[in-house]
Structure 1
Amino acid sequence: MAEARSSRDGKQGDAARLLLAAARDRFAAAATDLLLPDQGRLTEWQRVTAGALLTRLVGAIEDDLRARLAARFEDHAALHAALSSAHVPIALPILERAQALRDPELTALLVRRAEEHRFWTAHAAHGDGDFLHDLVRDADDDIAAEAMELVIGRARRFDRFQEPLLGEVELPAELQHRLVWRIAAALRHYIVQHHRAGGVDAAVEETASALIAGYDEGETLEARALRLARRLDRAGRLDGALLARSLGEGMLPFFLAGLAVRCGLDAGAAWEVLSDPRGRGPALLLRAGAIDRPDAAAILLALASRGPLLSGAEEERTAAQVELYDTLDEAAARDVLRLWQANPAYRASVARISTRSRAAAEAA
């Protein structure tokens, strides 16, 4: 019995490592290729959308830093004028030449945001008929308040043409910090190369530090979605039907948050598993989250569909996912997901070692 249990645990551990390595491989490749269209591993739509999001994100942070720095160099006319000309990008070309934006975590976030927009465009409920507006009118005042916060956060995801936005307020804190420092370094490089100004390093460091200090990760849409999901879970109302409805109405951020709560994960880990390129992730999450079969089937159908109508291939993918869901054991699925409950840096290290070990074995 002990040997059988050990063998089973070993297989589940191998499954977890392979799933993690596959997910990280995808985003590492995307990070390498995002800015190289001819070699992109993403779909053309994902690449264009993620690239546009990246450009606007870097531009928003750069504009904020430049406005603050311009105030520090008012007595230096040429530099002040250059920093104040916000329509001329400075940092982005420097960062692109230095390949400083090839960050797997940033790329994963950009692709995830692009996919969120795709789901929203394909499935969004219009008017007051979506589940969030229903929750805004909920008898539970706390749930209603959290739902309203999520509605407000969702509105920030679109520009006036309903194109996707990714503002600096939508980043995990550590990623926001890294991006601010990289953009600040690019601005410092420009100032040193093109202007004779004293006290550059002190001004840039203090400006970037002030921007970072004022950042509140709790204002991100993901944080708001998690707060609502946890409150609904405590009330016993975070069930498969609600998750299926949220996904069916295009609200992927709440779906990820709800599934993360059901599985004991963070939203980033839930997305990483869900986007497993081998296709095992969705069924694994649904089984581990104890989602009932009818709701799981509806969710798998929505995940397989890129629009209101299914093609034959999508129907086949859905059938395969439902079959996988049926063959999985809930306890075993939870065991596989234990790795995603670990520290993110640990997960990244496991994925890196698994990837390199596999590459070495294939080359041997």
Structure 2
Amino acid sequence: MAADPTPSAAARAAAARARADARLRVAIDDLLLPDDGRLDERTRLRLFQLLTETIGGIETALRGQAARLLTARGAARSAESVLRGGQGAATRLLGAGLLRDEALVEALAAEVRARLLTEALPAVAAGIDEPSLLVRLAAVPDRVVAAAARALLAVDGADGVTLSAELQHRLVWWTAAAIRPADDVAEVDRAIAEAAVRSLGAHDEGLGSGVAAMRLAQAIDARPDELAPLLVEALGDRRLTLFTAVLAHAIGLCFAETLALVLESEGERLWLALRAAQLDRATIARIALTLSDADPRRDIEAFADDIDRIAAVKPAEARLALAPETLEPDFRAAIRALARSGRR
């Protein structure tokens, strides 16, 4: 006699108890989370939306490509099952805990915060009849600068997010595993795997706004006397990527690391970076005021109390303080991981 597949009352009660325990653990984590580590509701919603949209885009591409491969091989029914799918990939990956990936969340959180800050930056027009900074750069006689400016114009502010090859590789294979049908058909697995390989082959890290902005900053190669007005106007033009890239180029940091310090609400590392770039007191104050207008987390009164101390820091001293940020990213990540483990 076949066993009754219906879960017993005891099993259902145990499952319900496990879900209640899980909810309690989440509530405790949320209750004890310090304020400076807590995401505001707007950032949290935008981050979750970007995360699910990113995975959803990968999922749609993988399902479509795998279904085309199966159809071409005469497996129309399997193709239909792949297209129809079941539970979405994002839901499955969240449930499995795979999306608690520090590098992934860090990259997406930086993207969200940069978008929110850019949206909130006050627009400061260069002149009534004068085009914006990036438009003017796209029309300069220097063909290298003009081409780089046009490339940034084409991608800056785009809705998508460009992940590193490592993160893209991780997400594609996680998503591929998440969309496998429950019946575990070998031909379906092969088609999904082929679709994933094709997706990774088409991934291009060179299309992101950060890369385009760095190419423009390198092409401009601003002299010390050009740096302050260029940074101020980039912020006034609401081009946070260009501001970040110009500063990164000036002090020898990568774009991602410079963006991280630009987005920090405390501002301590940003002020050091601006001093390392030899910016004066008035320029630093102007940049701080612009950023504080866009980000209410920034304490402009505390900055006003500290401006004399900040301006007194010698550029060489500031560069020395930022030296650890110039190390290889993997080395920095390993150092931070060891530091975290030592605090436990």
- Judge same fold: TM > 0.5, yes or no: yes
> 2:107 — aligned with what?
109
Residue of structure 1 aligned with 2:144, choices 142, 145, 150? 142
Residue of structure 1 aligned with 2:171, choices 158, 179, 199? 179
Query: What's the CA shift string for 1:315-357, capped at 9, x where partnerless?
Result: 3044145334223221122112221111111101111122232
Task: State the TM-score, normalized to the length of structure 1.
Answer: 0.76
Distance 2:66 2:278 in 1: 52
Q: How does 1:233-272 map to 2 (within 5 A)?
A: 233=221, 239-272=227-260
* Number of aligned residue pairs: 307
Distance 2:144 2:67 in 1: 43
Give the gaps of 5 or more residues in structure 1: 1-32, 158-164
1:202 has 2:204 as partner: no
Do the aligned partners of 1:226 and 1:257 also contact (CA within 8 Å) in 2?
yes
Distance 2:266 2:299 in 1: 15
Q: Give the CA deviation at 1:204.
A: 2.7
> 1:16 — aligned with what?
none
Distance 1:71 1:214, change over 3 A: same
Do the aligned partners of 1:119 and 1:251 also contact (CA within 8 Å) in 2?
no
Q: Give the CA deviation at 1:85.
A: 4.3
Distance 1:238 1:171 in 2: 32
AA partner of residue 332 (structure 2)? R
Distance 2:77 2:88 in 1: 15
> 1:224 — aligned with what?
212
Distance 1:128 1:91 in 2: 48
Q: Which has the higher contact order (CA 8 A, sep 6+)?
A: 1
> 1:5 — aligned with what?
none
Do the aligned partners of 2:121 and 2:294 also contact (CA within 8 Å) in 1?
no
1:294 has 2:282 as partner: yes
> 2:160 — aligned with what?
166
AA partner of residue 43 (structure 2)? Q
Identity %: 29
Query: What's the CA shift string for 1:113-149, capped at 9, x where partnerless?
Result: 2222223322365897321111112122221111111
Distance 2:132 2:193 in 1: 45
Partner SS state of residue 166, structure 1: coil
AA partner of residue 333 (structure 1)? A
> 1:73 — aligned with what?
70
> 1:327 — aligned with what?
312
Do the aligned partners of 2:276 and 2:316 also contact (CA within 8 Å) in 1?
yes
Give the gaps of 5 or more residues in structure 2: 1-25
AA partner of residue 80 (structure 2)? A
Distance 2:154 2:63 in 1: 28
CA RMSD between the two structures: 2.8
> 2:57 — aligned with what?
60
Residue of structure 2 aligned with 1:338, choices 308, 312, 323? 323
Distance 1:315 1:234, change over 3 A: closer
Q: Give the CA deviation at 1:206.
A: 2.4
Do the aligned partners of 1:288 and 1:334 also contact (CA within 8 Å) in 2?
yes
Distance 1:220 1:207 in 2: 23
> 1:161 — aligned with what?
none
> 1:348 — aligned with what?
333
Do the aligned partners of 2:280 and 2:311 also contact (CA within 8 Å) in 1?
no
AA partner of residue 221 (structure 1)? S
AA partner of residue 82 (structure 2)? L
Distance 1:230 1:104, change over 3 A: same
Distance 1:215 1:76, change over 3 A: same
Q: Which has the larger radius of gyration?
A: 2
Distance 1:207 1:118 in 2: 34
Q: Give the CA deviation at 1:279.
A: 3.7
Distance 1:89 1:298, change over 3 A: farther
AA partner of residue 142 (structure 1)? V
AA partner of residue 154 (structure 2)? I
